[in-house]
Chains A and B, each alone.
Chain A
Amino acid sequence: MQHLDEGTIHSWLDGSLSADEAARVEAHVKECPQCASAVAEARGFIAASSRILTALDNAPRGVIPAAAPKRRIDPFVWRVAATVLVVAAGTLVVVRSRGSNERLMSPPSDTAALVTKATASEGAATAGAPTTSPFDHTVETAGVSRAPASAFSGRGAARNSISGAIKGRYEAPREDARLGAGKAAGAGGVTAAAPTPPNAAIFAPSQIAGAVAMDAAEPQQLKLVGTPRRIGAKVSLYEVAPGDTVTLTESVPVQLQQTVVTGATASAVSPQAGRKAAPQARALTDAAARGGAAADSQPGANVQSSSGAVSAPAPAPALEMVSTINTIRWNDPVTGATLILSGRMSVARLQEIKIRIERERAAAAAKKNP
């Protein structure tokens, strides 16, 4: 048999020969060592070529550039950054809050100057230092600068009372609501119906609030808050109630003593009575704006009539507007001088204040000449 050619050997190894040809080749390979060696070599080429072609399927390395590895930040760096951020934020908050506190705690210089100016111009010698907080201080100062210009300008003798009222507010710090209400009432009879704390007295027009005060609570002691100097007269400033001040003017040569009650026309009342009087006060103020018609149907009228036990020269009207200034006169039994008490309140209220003033004067005289 002729030796096998290379093509026949690869065809036999690939299984592409027919069965007869395959059997014939196989028999020859067994008998022919040369062809057997050629078959072995052919197996090697088949296997090697197969491996080389298989390598083509694998992506050749170096052809596609590898992506640059992502730079991962160390977690420790994150921790440090978070710590720095928290500390910085906290420091900022502390610094800002401290700065605002310092601004609040330091009284503004213009406000202090305004207080000084107002006190000096009004001749108040015993103006106490403000004991309220700087914030309240500012609020009160605003009232000081506004009240004389709006309601009390050009009142002449009443200006001392105004300064007294201002000083009284400084020496007896109160709640802002009361100060605001008193300021509003003094500025034109408009009662502030702002919500007040339970223990805060509510300022209302004097007609009702004063009457209720006499019925509901014992009036406070008259408090001497200042002695403004006036030429030819001795002036004593009393605080009859929170927000109410009385200026007692004693003319030296003339036997005439005049007491003018100004300032906030509302007085301290009990919380219950105050709550009852506040809405009525607003209604009364509105009535006054329309023409002063008395609102007889108000429940406060009954209170007023029942409280008018003190005899008055003129019958007190059932409802008296804040803007009305009443005056009562009487003779001092000791000196025989004529005293005049006037103020923005009811006659009954003036009578009550008169009794208290007389009592105070009698007590002072007894202490002076035992």
Chain B
Amino acid sequence: MARKAVDALAERDRLALLMREEGLDYNEIAEALELSPGSVGTTLSRARRRLVESYEALQRSREEREKNAAS
């Protein structure tokens, strides 16, 4: 489900998020993604929000399936 949530992200958001998770700083991420250093924060904030929202959406749908299956 985490994989689905990550795959649902835009490529740039996903890469920025994975680079940050790997320990790269904003300058390295900006250089890798050809972004301005000031826009990395915006990209990361958008990616994190979408990731969490997507994950929560998948989790809810799963719970609903299990609930429907149980019922």
A interface with B by C-beta (< 8 Å): 5-11, 14, 16, 42, 44-46, 48-50, 52-56, 60
Contact = CB atoms under 8 A, between A and B. Distances in A.
Contacts of A52: 2, 5-6, 51-52, 55
B45 interface: yes
Contacts, number: 72
Contact of A7 (B17, B45, B51): B45
A99 to B, nearest CB: 72
A8 B26 CA distance: 12
Given A7-B41, A7-B43, A7-B44, 11 more contacts: A6-B41, A6-B45, A8-B41, A9-B45, A10-B42, A44-B52, A45-B45, A49-B48, A52-B2, A53-B51, A56-B3
Nearest to A48: B52
Given A7-B41, A8-B41, A11-B40, A53 B2 contact: yes
Contacts of B42: 5-7, 10
B39 to A, nearest CB: 7
A56 B2 contact: yes
B52 A11 contact: no
30 contacts: A6-B41, A6-B42, A6-B45, A7-B39, A7-B41, A7-B44, A8-B41, A9-B45, A10-B48, A11-B26, A11-B38, A11-B40, A14-B26, A16-B26, A16-B41, A42-B45, A44-B52, A45-B45, A48-B48, A48-B52, A49-B17, A49-B51, A49-B52, A52-B6, A53-B2, A53-B6, A53-B21, A53-B51, A54-B21, A56-B3
A50 B26 contact: no
A40 to B, nearest CB: 14
Nearest to B20: A14
Contacts of B20: 14
Interface residues of B, number: 26
A44 B47 CA distance: 13
B18 interface: yes
A6 B55 CA distance: 20
Contacts of B49: 6, 45
Given A52-B5, A52-B6, A14 B41 contact: yes
A362 B68 CA distance: 131
A46 B52 CA distance: 9
B47 A49 contact: yes
A53 B52 contact: no
A53 B48 CA distance: 10
Contacts of A48: 48, 51-52, 55
A16 B2 contact: no
B5 A10 contact: no
B33 to A, nearest CB: 14
A52 B44 CA distance: 14
B11 interface: no
Most buried by A among B3, B46, B48: B48
Contacts of B18: 53
Contacts of B6: 52-53, 56
Nearest to A49: B48
Contacts of A16: 25-26, 37, 40-41
Most buried by B among A16, A48, A49: A49
